[in-house]
Structure 1
């Protein structure tokens, strides 16, 4: 019998500057705040965010968190990928907020276009263009050969 997984509930991110990260994820990326807490015993903020498809991000701040290496690539989480319906519009939006994006590439297997940028702490973020997003959040992507 397969494991009874039904999907991803949330992804937890640790930031070095709570105010800067909160602004980026809410004002630039448009995540909605579900709950916000300050944990005095840990000198830490916890921010629960919701994306338009209902998936959640947890944003934590801690005093002086050690940096995570992205280059060279190491084991563990590589990047966080967001689905977008219009990659060009997303890039324009990010650029209006001073976010630098890599050149657009095309997925050799699906034909979909994507780009990368970084969050304020350098976490690689991918924006992946999807097609036919259903009301329940399921996505179909291009599958034609290039």
Structure 2
């Protein structure tokens, strides 16, 4: 077996409409498909990432909170590549999104920063 790439990352949203607006309207991800699964009382939204990967957003009735801080076992964060971290940070902040100060990765020398989605999931911007 030889893994080729990450096909998708799946996220469970606390408020589907709010998360949909964040990922589609704010971050600009393209909708591939949107499905209401009535038997599960759940929406599934497939979003296209620019590199061909996908982000899946799910809604479920009353999902439990996800601990983000202090860091817990499991998914640590989701990282997106950008050409210029400072430009991306300024763009997000102009739209009311809190973004951490830009830092430099000591191992790679690349610049990065973090912000959060509507459910507090840490999202990273990592400079190409």
TM-score, length-scaled by structure 1: 0.85
Give the match's secondary structure for 1:33: strand
Given that 1:30 and 1:51 are in contact with CA atoms closer than 8 Å, whether structure 2 keeps it comes out as no
CA RMSD of aligned residues (A): 0.8
Larger radius of gyration: 1
Deviations 1:22-67 (CA, angstroms, capped at 9, x unpaired): 0100111111000000111111100000011111000001111001
Give the corresponding residue for 2:14.
16
User: Is 1:46–2:29 an aligned residue pair?
Assistant: no
Matched, 1:75 2:44: no
Q: Which runs of 5+ in 1 are unaligned?
A: 131-146
Match in the other structure for 1:120: 118
Q: Which runs of 4+ in 1 moved over 4 A?
A: none
Q: Residue 90 of structure 1: CA displacement?
A: 0.8
List gaps (5 residues or longer) in structure 2: none
Report the TM-score, using the length of structure 2 for normalisation.
Answer: 0.97
